[in-house]
Amino acid sequence: MGTTIPYENPLRPPATNSPRATLNGFMDSMNEAYQLIMEAEEQSKQEGGLWHSKTVKEKGKEAEWALRRAVDTLNLQGIPPINVQDIGTENALMLKEVLDRLKLPKANTLPNARDVESQELKRWEIPGTEIAIELVEDGFNQSEFLFSPGTVQRIKKFYELIERRPYYESNSWRTSPDFYRFYITTPGHLLPPKWNTWLPQWTNQLIQGQTIWQWCSLGLITLVALSSILGVAFLLRRYINTTDDLTKAWLGLLVPTFTLWVAGSWEFFMDESINITGDLLNILLKVSTVIQGIVLAWLAFLISNAIAWVVIYNMPADNKSLEAVIARNAIRILGFMLGLAIFYFTSREIGIAVGPIIASFGVSSIAIGLGVKPYIENIVGGLTLFLNRPMEIGDFCELGGVTGTVEDIGLRSTLIRTVDRKLIYVPNTVVSTSQIVNHSQRDKYTFERIISLSYDSAHEKLAETMENLRSMLAEHPKLSEERISLGSLSNEIIDIDLFTYILTRDSDEATDIQEEIMLKIDEVLDFTGAQVVALSLAE
């Protein structure tokens, strides 16, 4: 029978029930990762070719698992989620470089689980250092001994102080020479790709924590990313101006969607392929996350706007006025709220505590209240307009000292087109608190005129003239409540008062009927021979 290869569980966590177990687990895992990577590198060079063999890749994965076990011995509490893996890896590598240069106590002299229980031990420091392993008393890693958060925060400082010292070879654990430098100067994540061997040696020189080839590669992919985004935006802008509003709304999603894809690809190449590390990586990841959060919030709002236009275009033709405005703004508000939610989660990703920021609003609530008061009042005014519906898009109104046609009702302002074609934005707080005269919503129009006739031409047939005028008004199907009366009488002028309602809500139709009445009046007066001195509006 053949021998059975023992199964190695990649999810096996490190033993962390005592300072001895934690330090042993960390050192052994780091040495295992180092040995596997060095073996994989050497084997890959001997095999040649353009790609790593399956065996080399498997060793690379085993090294990754070993490194993750070492990282698991660090208490990374307080590290932003976006870079916890990168910071954990770099800190583990720097901590190994520090420990390899220190004279450590023998492994069998470190506090074990029995010592922890008997001494009620909660914290242990490596002698002569501030490197501490302490008990986690709450949270996910409760009851585990991990390298303390204070130690993790100062690992880089420890490394900078000791990096020029020689390795101490007499410890219980082997050293892993230049493991950290190997990691930060090679592409990929831990196991470098084949093209790493093609880089000239001079490009591996470090400048501000990154190699020359890393700086050049970062500049190149950044230039490509920005150029591609600007190019797509330019081409889309030239095309989008020739389309309708609905198509514009949906095409407008392309730029933020493409930007998100480019930003994600740029971040992947920057972090995983070029392998930018250190403070620069931390800054770039935060900037990338902020940009992606802003673009994602922008995309959420644009999606809500596109959905609003779909709703508007699917409304009946006679119902695309205020209902359309309500639908559009309601969906936009939902998009805005979704954008705020994205901002909240993005802030958490980069390590910004949103809770204290929100709580601090109470300290300066008066100043903030004064600053946002006009905006809130305008939004409330807009909601009042939506609920009361005093006017609709296309109505001819007098409001806030402005007379014109309503072109749009937004959340903050109402857009009025005046008779002389000026476009005026009236704040909704003004609209909602002022008198609104809606000429377009009257149920009928009035027609009042004073007909001044020459006495000599009209006095003999005055009764006939007035009766003919009554008959003319009564026969018109669009008129009601006609009244013809004698206003005044002198030896020179006879004034006849004419009043009627025009039965229409449409201003254009009312104007046409008024013109028709005026022509009929001329015909009646011409028939009786009465001469018009003046035809004026009733006061």
- Quick: pLDDT tens for 190-201: 889 888 888 888
The upper half-sphere exposure of residue 5, i.e. CA atoms within 13 Å in the direction of its Cβ, equals 2
Structure pTM?
A: 0.65
Percent of the chain at pLDDT exceeding 70: 83
The domain limits of the chain are 19-195, 210-360, 375-440, 444-537
- Is 94 a residue whose pLDDT tops 90? yes
* Distance, CA of 124 to CA of 145 (rounded, Å): 9
Residue 531's Cβ-side half-sphere holds a number of Cα atoms within 13 Å equal to 7
Distance CA 308, CA 314 (A): 10
The H or E element that residue 454 is part of is strand 445-454
Structure-model confidence comparison of residues 141 and 155, the more confident one: 155
The dihedral over CA atoms of 317, 323, 325, 326, expressed in degrees to the nearest 10, equals: -150
The length of the chain is 539
**How many CB atoms are located within 10 Å of the residue 79 CB?**
20
Q: Output the CA–CA distances (angstroms, integers) from residue 74 to 9, 90, 289, 362, 509, in the order listed.
A: 21, 11, 25, 37, 82
Rg (CA), the chain: 41
Which architecture, in CATH terms, is 375-440?
A: Roll (2.30)
Helix ranges (DSSP H) in 145-253: 149-162, 179-185, 212-240, 245-251
Q: Which band of pLDDT confidence, cut at 50, 70 and 90, is reported for residue 47?
A: confident
Tens digits of residue pLDDT in 494-512 = 888 999 988 887 778 888 9
Spatial separation of the C-alpha atoms in residues 333 and 329, rounded to whole Å: 6
The answer to whether domain 444-537 has CATH 3.30.70.100 is yes
Whether pLDDT at 3 is above 50: no
What confidence tens digit (pLDDT) does each residue in 71-86 have?
999 999 878 777 788 8
Q: Name residues whose C-beta falls within 8 Å of residue 325's C-beta, 6 or more positions apart in sequence.
A: 386, 393, 408, 409, 410
Tell me the helix, strand and coil percentages in the chain, rounded to 5.
Answer: 60, 15, 30
Tokens read off for 464 = 């006939």
Distance between CA atoms of 45 and 432, rounded to whole angstroms? 78
